[in-house]
Structure 1
């Protein structure tokens, strides 16, 4: 490859676009290429691009589309010839890209006068597809596919040589530092300009020793989301389909091709700079990166962003009316600022980890180091815990403004008892989380905090140079720097003040070097920190859990410097993934788990689940925990009962009678007997046994798409194929499944669907009786919960109940999921249904669990005494835990809390509000086919077509994964897997409803 032309190019004058009108474009296209038709301009910063759509012929569905391109007048002809040849090479390798078309004179390039100067003009084939930038959300798979494509382009262009590749191009990152320096005055905002100049200084320092080691080759130079085109594939996700705009083809660093591509990711997910790692990993699999390229990559990414910013601002200044350039300005600032805000050493460590390359460790303490505190004070130092394991943080005290106050109070209390209090390094603090939020919290501590109720002198743990300014003291031995924020420098018993404080002073190990009064923050950093003022300290006090492992290449654990054992800073591979592997090794996978890569939840509060990284998620699926997570009244009642007594129901104690009486109070007259069990499955199993004994009949009728439990009998009447794909094949001969009464997508639809479904069921009951197998029991949920909160249509249950009883059978209302106040306007689901005269329907047996114990194993069968007594000749019934003192006290307390916290009323009010919001969302999101349910038991059915009702199962699953990434736990249900469960704890608030609806709207709008 040839070197740059002699001399250093200047970019100060800029490159205004060719000044041409649409009429001139039409004339030139017709004269030079014989092209006419509809024309519109496509965006470009320095060239002019026009899309022609020719008229369709009689045999064509639409006319040919071609790109008419007028290059900037500064582009040489041999440069354009090189671009054309690069396109041909890509075509030969099978990669869709533009190709030059011949003019009427059979030339690939024509020259014409535009605005008084000669310009090169081409006609190119048009690559169909949508620019990737128009897809708002990039999944990890999409990002990885970008990396694979960019790597393929680099591999294809390797070895390509042409005189036109040697260009003095402003986008060549070999000239990037010069470009930014020349154009920096276009950055008018002083803070932004200072930030960019600081970044440029770091870039120069990082790249200087690497430039001679970076491989050169022909590169496309602009493989961004503007120039990669895609089609909407499965789930609406982009599938890359081509490459456009070869205007920046030239010789450059090979790694610059990757750096440019990486910048396309940041404005799509600005809170996660490391979201770019899949792209880098995929590129490396095609074109293995050298060590020098890995070390240069992040500085080059930042440099590319900086060149975009200054060039864009210059273009707007010199090219009035360039809407394309002006519209990109804030996006280009994000492309620069996001990676520039992350220490390049940290980013490089993250890249090395992602590529499986060795990472140098961060600074460490040694056995020779002394401590900051004297031995007695170090021994009495109290450590406070602020992560998910903290027992001092309770009842949501860590949230909002109270979090900082709780942190301060805990430090103060610990200091009063020990003299000094300290926090833990690498700890994901609850107090630094913000509740449910779109992005992961910035809450992992990069240092430790010290708090003393009195003035405290710190002694140097190692010999080095001390300096002080702006409330920071630094001690460095060259290889590492200890930074104490909130401290004053101290030399030979006197405080360092004024200009002398900034002058490095030598201290020996054990010498006093800093003093604190109250709070201080200590961090151990790699290398020498040049200045202790706040602006120059590069390490933030908190980082995200995703970034923290990479920060360990820069940070050390200062715990040992105060005489404490090292904190257990988490390394990659630890945490949720490791826990999942351990689970799968020992806990039968048959028991299943949500998500392919689930968070590790170890805590909860109200309608939130909290993982081990301190992130809070909105819990949309825990109908088991009806009261909400961590309810303090329930926790205190359970703890008190454990201290008092826990034994089984064969002993005589009050709470089992109290719970039974309280349950009967919620039901119509006629119910007089309660049997307590451990779960909903046991409740259904026992209910079936009771009704079989009472009627003397084995045959049971149920409805399709339902779930009632996992025991032999409960599973036998469970028809849902989502829970058991072989449910129909394995169905016992004594089980008879009626058509699922679904008026939305079932056999019968519309207002009279209930009557028609009932007629079918009654006919089947009559057929079974005539065949000598009369039904003794009918079991159904009053709302089909497992199918997605599907409404059982009007008139269905009353007719079926009547027919079953007329034939000598009894009916069970399975309320395990849909009862206990969850639907808001009624306590029991069967209360929603009435007979033809409006009279309420009443089942013979009610089964309940889940909410009854708020997650504790507790369920009940509630019936009439004659039905219960039918089992007496088979012995007495007993459940060890079902009616224990603990379970009974807990059950009573749950009912108390539901009453005192008005949770059924809340389900009605907030559930109604949520339903209204979801119905409004459905009007603008076509993937939503229907909103089922009421109260806080709802289902959002997703369909690909509202006419055919084709289930959007894959989309539903992908949506759940995407929602998890932005802090919402929601899961699919139903035999088609296309209904979102909406059954949060009953303490759910309108604010949480708004959060959920907004998140769902975002995902459906931006893509999966």
Structure 2
């Protein structure tokens, strides 16, 4: 709103209606005109002028709350209302253009807290001040404060409407994640929380400081009747904004508040999410104003700080903050620091198959996921560098909402018509070469590989399958028979008669190395050898199957020209070429959407798994019309939950996120940045023998000697355990178990990369 009152006009109005002789100076204002006025004796006031858009009832509420506080134990801590010569707290001024309302308050001395260096004592004073105020307002009420305003945390989810105005995908995802957490963690208990008449905006410009302590609070324009704890959450938010240690600042605020006006454990447990909620309202509002072309600096005054704090907040395990607040208030802790997992492990061993292994010497109990972060039950945060099934990030808000909403409507089998099935099939095949046009949906990559082999055998009328040595294709009976990683290992049943192992095309330690321009063709010749041997026995080949970058085989990119030569030989022999994209597809390799595109080939069948549903049990087989027709031999193929509406909605959401957030390009840029950093570490640390990969499919092979290539085992296990202690979850792979496996969720960013490289450098230096 624009006001045309001049300083001279204000001087005259105050003389006429208040009997004061003053000078006036205009101050900046958000929704009202503000003037600093002073008389010759040094007495000072602030004159506030509101227009017709401001509710007279709410202006009355602002006056009444200050008058109520003036009669309480907090007298002198707040502005005092100065009444006019008619003893009215609000003066009405009618002009030909509009009706205006004047209020005059005493001036509070002090600096805004944003201009001073925060200390623990200052933050405690901030909390104590608000606690005293809220305690004094226990018996205050005003009907005008029962209102709907954007800045009431009770309306946090309204911010979803402004999410489209955030242009940066990473920031939009972050805000949407925290809004999802508000819905999940706060709303179910929201109705149980105490409600009160609160200031609702104790920010770093409204809080005044003198001599290292809070001396005043101004601007009651955002007052509202809402949950009491919101007042504390807002104070914590602004205390954290510029603090060197944001959580320490918030804890000091909460402790100070609690000592003045006790909180409940339920209230303190929600503060993590309420701080995030306030930040989300702030950043989405700024984004909306920017989209509307606003040049009002007040619309963006905390935007950068809010994004910085949101980015920091997701790195804090919510349990850690809840524990800190509970400790500050003397409540029962939520974390048992001394607890071990003896009982849980015993139960697991008693009722879960013992050949299901657990990662790390000291097991982790993970209780929450947040995009590229995992939180354990001890309050620790881990950067996830290996969980590629959660392709677009743990608990990605778009995927979660799609799954939730469809699950709330319908989930059933595919004998009924449903749009989701054909919608997803159409969108999926649009990412593939035109010849791959028929979809079959399953519940896992293992099941999909099993189906792909069945289809190839129908088509080729043969049984024999060629795989790569050390390959892994799943846990079904057929998939295990295709997996040397399993059937050649301890407890394995050995190579089946109809499975044939071709050389692992490893250009680091195989017979043909990276310096051989014909390595691809030479490795492919081993497949020719197998085909020729089968022919001599009067047998043919049903299929050749391989991952388009080798995972368990050692995080190995295929040599140039390898698949082109192999596919030509297999097709000439009447076989089917199967690309296992379970760990590789959906943009992970960066330079292409599918791994087989890196080899400039088109398979007959593509198998999709882990990333397709972001951890939801969904997988697929996509094939040519000819292969599909051969499989359609009269025996019905039916999969009860393959292609169900919930899975299809989830798959659609994953594709939407990959596209809208530009995750393939992100994987290319950030993955290249990551590998460049690893190569710099290779120059420094002789234990790194090789760095390889594409996009976010990365391997670093550790060796004791770069000539003999002796694997650095158990050194690599020491590295993985040390990195876990530093908050990074890595794993090992490869036939010799000496390759660091790095396949993070696609939202992993450069800041995560820099942090990992720094810590890895330190760990390697300590070996």
The answer on 1:978 being equivalent to 2:738 is: yes
CA contact (8 A) 2:716 2:738 kept: yes
Q: Which residue of 2 aligns with 1:596?
A: 361
1:773 aligns with 2:539: yes
Native 8 Å contact 1:442 1:543 kept in 2: no
Q: Give the structure 2 partner of residue 606 of structure 1.
A: 371
User: Which residue pairs with 1:928 in the alignment?
Assistant: 688
Cα distance change, pair 430–866 in 1 and its aligned pair in 2 (3 A): farther
How far 1:786 sits from its partner (Å)?
1.5
For CA contacts below 8 A with separation 6 or more, give which structure has more relative contact order.
Answer: 2
SS of structure 2 residue aligned to 1:908: helix
- Structure-2 change in CA distance of 1:447 and 1:987 (3 Å): closer
Separation (CA, whole Å) in 2 of partners of 1:596 and 1:457: 42
* Unmatched 5+ stretches in structure 2: 1-134, 140-156, 161-172, 197-225, 264-316
Corresponding position: 1:626 with 2:391: yes
- Deviations 1:387-439, CA, capped at 9 Å, x for gaps: xxxx9999757999xx9xxx999999955359865999xxxx999999xx9x9
Give yes or no for contact 2:255–2:328 (8 Å, CA) kept in 1: no
Shift of 1:907: 0.6
Alpha-carbon distance between aligned partners in 2 of 1:634 and 1:408, rounded to the nearest angstrom? 20
Identify if the C-alpha distance between structure 1 residues 443 and 929 changes in structure 2 by more than 3 Å, giving closer, same or farther: farther
- Matched ranges for 1:629-648 at <5 A: 629-648=394-413
Kindly state the Cα deviation for residue 901 of structure 1 after the two structures are TM-superposed.
0.3
User: In the alignment, is residue 795 of structure 1 matched against residue 574 of structure 2?
Assistant: no
Partner of 1:725: 490
Determine which of 826, 841, 849 is the counterpart of 2:592.
826
What CA distance in whole angstroms lies between the structure 2 residues aligned with 1:935 and 1:700? 30
Identify which of 579, 595, 620 aligns with 1:860: 620
Cα shift at 1:656 = 0.5
Report what 1:937 is aligned to.
697
8 Å Cα contact 1:821/1:827 also seen in 2: yes
**1:307-351 Cα distance to aligned partner (Å, 9 max, x none):** xxxxxxxxxxxxxxxxxxxxxxxxxxxxxxxxxxxxxxxxxxxxx
* Equivalent in the alignment of 1:759: 525
Paired residue for 1:809? 575
Deviations 1:789-835 (A, max 9, x none): 212112221111111111111110101011111000111111111xx
Any idea what the Cα deviations from partners look like across 1:178-223, whole Å, max 9, x if unmatched?
xxxxxxxxxxxxxxxxxxxxxxxxxxxxxxxxxxxxxxxxxxxxxx
CA shift for structure 1 position 696: 1.0
What secondary structure does 2:360 align onto? coil
Point out where structure 1 has 5 or more consecutive residues left out of the alignment: 1-372, 378-390, 459-541, 560-565, 834-839
Match of 1:162 in 2: none
Q: Which of 672, 683, 686 pairs up with 2:437?
A: 672
Q: Does 1:969 align with 2:729?
A: yes
Match for 1:570 among 322, 333, 336?
Answer: 336
Which residue of the partner structure matches residue 451 of structure 2?
Answer: 686
| Aligned equivalents of 1:802, 1:430: Cα separation in 2 | 62
1:702-717 pair list within 5 angstroms = 702-717=467-482
Q: Which digits, 9 at most, give the CA deviation of each residue in 1:38-69, with x for residues without a partner? A: xxxxxxxxxxxxxxxxxxxxxxxxxxxxxxxx
Aligned to 1:590, the other structure's residue is in SS state coil
The change in CA–CA distance for 1:711 and 1:432 in structure 2 (over 3 A counts) is farther
Alpha-carbon distance between aligned partners in 2 of 1:443 and 1:638, rounded to the nearest angstrom: 37
Whole-angstrom distance in 2 between the partners of 1:569 and 1:433: 23
CA contact (8 A) 2:437 2:622 kept: yes
Following superposition, the deviation at residue 868 of structure 1 comes to: 1.8
Match of 1:844 in 2: 604
Distance 1:544 1:832, change over 3 A: closer
Change (3 A) 1:883 1:408: closer
Whole-Å separation in 1 of the counterparts to 2:385 and 2:639:
31
* Bigger fraction of residues in helix: 2
Shift of 1:598: 2.0
Query: Could you tell me how far apart the structure 2 residues matched to 1:824 and 1:1004 are?
Result: 28
Q: Is the 8 A contact 2:335 2:379 kept in 1?
A: no
CA distance in structure 2 between the aligned counterparts of 1:569 and 1:845, rounded to whole angstroms: 49
Q: Secondary structure at the match of 1:932?
A: strand
Q: CA deviation at 1:764?
A: 2.1
Partner of 2:380: 615
Residue 778 to residue 568, structure 1, CA distance change in 2 (3 Å): closer
Tell me, in whole angstroms, the C-alpha distance in 1 between the residues paired with 2:404 and 2:585: 27
Whether the 8 Å CA contact 2:320–2:380 is kept in 1: the answer is no
How far is 1:651 from its partner? Answer: 1.0
Q: Tell me what 1:914 maps to.
A: 674
Offset of 1:871 from its aligned partner? 2.6
Q: How far 1:755 sits from its partner (Å)?
A: 1.7
Shift of 1:615: 1.9
Q: 482, 486, 504: which is aligned to 1:740?
A: 504
After TM superposition, the score normalised by the length of structure 1 is 0.46
Contact 1:448–1:558 (Cα < 8 Å) also in 2: no
The size of the alignment, in residue pairs, is 509
Q: Say whether the 8 Å CA contact 2:681–2:761 is kept in structure 1.
A: yes
Structure 1 422/821 Cα, relative in aligned 2: closer, same or farther at 3 Å? closer
State the SS of the aligned residue for 1:609. Answer: strand
Query: Aligned with 1:591: secondary structure?
Result: coil
8 Å Cα contact 1:783/1:789 also seen in 2: yes
> Which residue in the other structure is 1:990 paired with?
750
Asked if the contact 2:318–2:379 (Cα under 8 Å) also holds between the matched residues in 1, the reply is: no
1-side partners of 2:648 and 2:249: how far apart? 40
Distance 1:442-1:928 versus aligned 2 partners, 3 A rule: farther
Change over 3 Å in CA distance of 1:818–1:569 after alignment to 2? closer
Task: Report the counterpart of residue 242 of structure 1 in structure 2.
Answer: none
Larger Rg: 1
Q: Is the 8 A contact 1:857 1:882 kept in 2?
A: no
TM-score when scaled to structure 2?
A: 0.60
Relative to structure 1, is the Cα distance of residues 932 and 571 closer, same or farther in structure 2, using a 3 angstrom cutoff?
A: closer
SS in 2 for 1:921: helix
- The answer to whether the 8 A contact 2:319-2:334 is kept is no
Equivalent residues of 1:445, 1:543 under 8 A apart: no
Q: CA 1:893/1:723 → structure 2, altered by over 3 Å: closer, same or farther?
A: farther
Distance change >3 Å, CA 450–CA 912, structure 1 → 2: same
Q: CA deviation at 1:702?
A: 0.5
C-alpha distance in structure 2 between counterparts of 1:856 and 1:1000, whole Å: 32
Distance in 2 (CA, whole Å) between partners of 1:973 and 1:1003 is: 19
Distance 1:1004 1:556, change over 3 A: closer
Deviation at 1:642, TM superposition (A): 1.4
Cα offset for 1:609?
A: 1.0
Aligned partner of 1:370 in structure 2 is none
Secondary structure of residue in 1 paired with 2:691: strand
* Cα distance in 2 between the residues matched to 1:880 and 1:871: 18
Distance 1:568 1:602, change over 3 A: closer
Q: By how many angstroms is 1:616 displaced?
A: 1.6
CA change 1:663–1:456 in 2 (3 A) is closer
| Residue in structure 1 matched with residue 645 of structure 2 by the alignment | 885
Question: Among residues 352, 359, 378, which one is paired with 1:587 in the alignment?
Answer: 352
Counterpart CA distance in 2 for 1:656 and 1:408 is 34
CA distance in 2, matches of 1:709, 1:443: 49
Post-superposition shift, 1:568? 5.2
d(CA) in 1 for partners of 2:572 and 2:593? Answer: 27
The equivalent residue for 1:416 is 195
Alpha-carbon distance in structure 2 between the residues aligned to 1:705 and 1:956: 20
Does the 8 Å contact 2:336/2:378 carry over to 1?
no
